[in-house]
Structure 1
């Protein structure tokens, strides 16, 4: 264990972490700090199949990272094996098309992208600042959600609005989940080497959901836009809507712009439609007891996913593979079935027996044997991708 990487995902009210070794293949310890900024902040650490729960006071990102470091002080053999720290950063704007070792210029550039991700980038910067103070001798790397999508052409990333808004304010489609898509592209390439020279569609379906088209290992289109609100219906996000709805909702419900955006980001999607939950598992259980709103939410989610997949497919020469990933994509037989049912006009079919019997946590081919286009389930692993990027950059430099 001489290549351990501490991976940090510092969110607005939570902080996830993991320590991986063996080129990202072995998870040594992992955990999450939740409720940051509230009275009930707590840090949960899982090690050797046991969980430790630590109350945080004050309840903030600094306390969470101090708690992680204090745990490491008690496990010196793990701390001494650390060779670097990898940070997930949501938004790198147009500045970053790959992961980078963090220096003062990188920190300043991430700060300049704050307008594009006002909830996420400040939290990332706080995580970086505290991690640098706690681990001053370890090189630190930033891995950007947006980087993979920097290969989109102007035709795909520009909006049909005055071009000066792009020139003056960088208003364009950026896309997210890029680290996941890069991992899936590489993993599929290991299973099917020819896929690296073919057209691939990926549906990353979870509480946050998006799709991506990949040609020759590079992104050609994606569903999320300037922010993660665009595209698919998600757990609590509306996805793509008529822009005039923003003014309409604001006027009818007497809401400010901020309050209206809160409705679209936090009270819509599966939660808003079902009026029950944003959790796909809960909704499937309710659907099985004849809850019509739960089924409506799931069916709308599947329908929009299919539409966005075919929209992204217009940037490909051929569609050779469709991959489901993310918490819902990997685990929901129903959603995979419904998405492919909506794609029947494109001769995309799955074998229902393979779909129902796919082993959780493993890559699986679930398409019909007689079908040229192959449909896959491939579990994503963003933490491994961050660990590998960190390790590779450290080794290179």
Structure 2
């Protein structure tokens, strides 16, 4: 057996999946950690519970999802004390995400001291974006001192989906130009040339780019100044609004796209505007990434909304036939793997993501590389 345990540790949850090769042999979720009425009081108890409940015989590694690797980590990395300390130093770049990941790492290293632990970073896939694609036009000294640049996120999803899309359309991954659109509660787009990220919509934090469930996506920076100076909101209040009360929730009062689409069908004006804004932003990024790539073999939709919303896919790509992009209504409605018409210059695909499998495969490849080296 060559088993790999994948851990995705959140602030109040641990999602786990145990692989034997590419087969899933166990998976689950422990929620409400440390909360009133929750199952367990802390992450160590949660992880002990997980590990006691699954067969770890033959375990060769633990792969940890870590959201932010900054500029320091451009690939999956075997965790030692120095790596853990560096991840801790990056907490200011991802204050909501990196601390729980560190908790999972610390506990797993304690419980499984002889098993290699590997950090797989959401940001690493985007390390191949050229300098002009990650540099913000602000004071260069400030940017360098404080790590202000585009990092990008959802890297494991974009990497996996781009590779699967290339297989689906029969184009070698190292020669395919693909635009991947990850639409969940968080959302991002990515331009992938030959299996390498060359542009992505999220920036320094998982906040910019596409409209999301509760996050605003791109806004004019002056909005922050205006709300602070004129509306009297503190910086923390503005951040909370843009992170938790913006996006679809801000526009329609609801971040579940299924509910928004139900209201859209009833003619609700707020839901109609919210979907229009959401889909226009996707269309703008698809157009921009066509320009970055110069061409595209395929556009791939993934994640909860991307995989299950014909309305979003159809509206987002409407009016793009002159660019070789069109959607077949019948195929779109049944969430077919390819929803573009036969012979379309650009294939439009629906490809389920599998971030845990990607983390397991990157973990295995990292260890194989270490052994080979």
- Summarize the alignment of residues 378-393 of structure 1 with structure 2, pairs less than 5 Å apart: 378-393=351-366
Question: CA 1:159 to 1:256, structure 2 compared with 1: closer, same or farther past 3 Å?
Answer: same
**Counterpart position of 2:35:** 38
**Counterpart position of 2:48:** 66
**Counterpart position of 1:265:** 243
Judge conservation of contact 1:185–1:196 (CA < 8 Å) in 2: no
> Residue 253 of structure 1: CA displacement?
4.1
* 1:296 paired to 2:293: no
**Counterpart position of 1:162:** 139
- Summarize the alignment of residues 89-168 of structure 1 with structure 2, pairs less than 5 Å apart: 89-168=66-145
Aligned mates of 1:252, 1:12 — CA distance in 2: 34
> Residue 91 of structure 1: CA displacement?
0.6
Which of 42, 56, 64 is residue 87 of structure 1 equivalent to? Answer: 64
Judge conservation of contact 1:306–1:342 (CA < 8 Å) in 2: no
Aligned mates of 1:299, 1:180 — CA distance in 2: 25
Aligned mates of 2:209, 2:29 — CA distance in 1: 28
Aligned mates of 1:103, 1:195 — CA distance in 2: 33
Judge conservation of contact 2:307–2:335 (CA < 8 Å) in 1: no
Aligned mates of 2:114, 2:233 — CA distance in 1: 49
What secondary structure sits across from 1:171 in the alignment? Answer: coil
Q: For each residue in 1:26-70, what CA deviation from the matched residue of structure 2 results, as whole angstroms up to 9, or x when unmatched?
A: 2222222222342132xxxxxxxxxxxxx21x2x32222122123
Aligned mates of 1:62, 1:332 — CA distance in 2: 38
Q: Which runs of 5+ in 1 are unaligned?
A: 42-54, 73-77
Judge conservation of contact 1:9–1:15 (CA < 8 Å) in 2: yes
Task: Return the TM-score normalized by structure 1.
Answer: 0.89
* 1:201 paired to 2:201: no
**Counterpart position of 2:7:** 8
| Deviation larger for 157-166 or 387-396 | 387-396
**Counterpart position of 1:211:** 189
* 1:314 paired to 2:311: no
Aligned mates of 1:392, 1:199 — CA distance in 2: 24
Question: CA 1:395 to 1:194, structure 2 compared with 1: closer, same or farther past 3 Å?
Answer: closer
What secondary structure sits across from 1:314 in the alignment? Answer: helix
| Deviation larger for 178-187 or 260-269 | 178-187
**Counterpart position of 1:49:** none
Q: CA RMSD in A?
A: 1.6
What secondary structure sits across from 2:7 in the alignment? Answer: strand
> Residue 195 of structure 1: CA displacement?
4.8
Which of 374, 378, 388 is residue 347 of structure 2 equivalent to? Answer: 374
Judge conservation of contact 1:303–1:342 (CA < 8 Å) in 2: no
Aligned mates of 1:342, 1:158 — CA distance in 2: 32
Which of 156, 173, 179 is residue 179 of structure 1 equivalent to? Answer: 156
What secondary structure sits across from 1:213 in the alignment? Answer: strand
- Summarize the alignment of residues 223-234 of structure 1 with structure 2, pairs less than 5 Å apart: 223-234=201-212
What secondary structure sits across from 2:238 in the alignment? Answer: helix
Aligned mates of 2:12, 2:229 — CA distance in 1: 30
Aligned mates of 2:35, 2:306 — CA distance in 1: 32
What secondary structure sits across from 2:202 in the alignment? Answer: coil
Q: Which runs of 5+ in 2 are unaligned?
A: none
Judge conservation of contact 1:145–1:179 (CA < 8 Å) in 2: yes
Question: Paired residues, what number?
Answer: 369
Aligned mates of 1:224, 1:389 — CA distance in 2: 22
Question: CA 1:125 to 1:292, structure 2 compared with 1: closer, same or farther past 3 Å?
Answer: same
Task: Return the TM-score normalized by structure 2.
Answer: 0.94
**Counterpart position of 1:282:** 259
**Counterpart position of 1:75:** none
Aligned mates of 2:175, 2:58 — CA distance in 1: 38
Aligned mates of 1:384, 1:330 — CA distance in 2: 18
Judge conservation of contact 2:88–2:98 (CA < 8 Å) in 1: yes
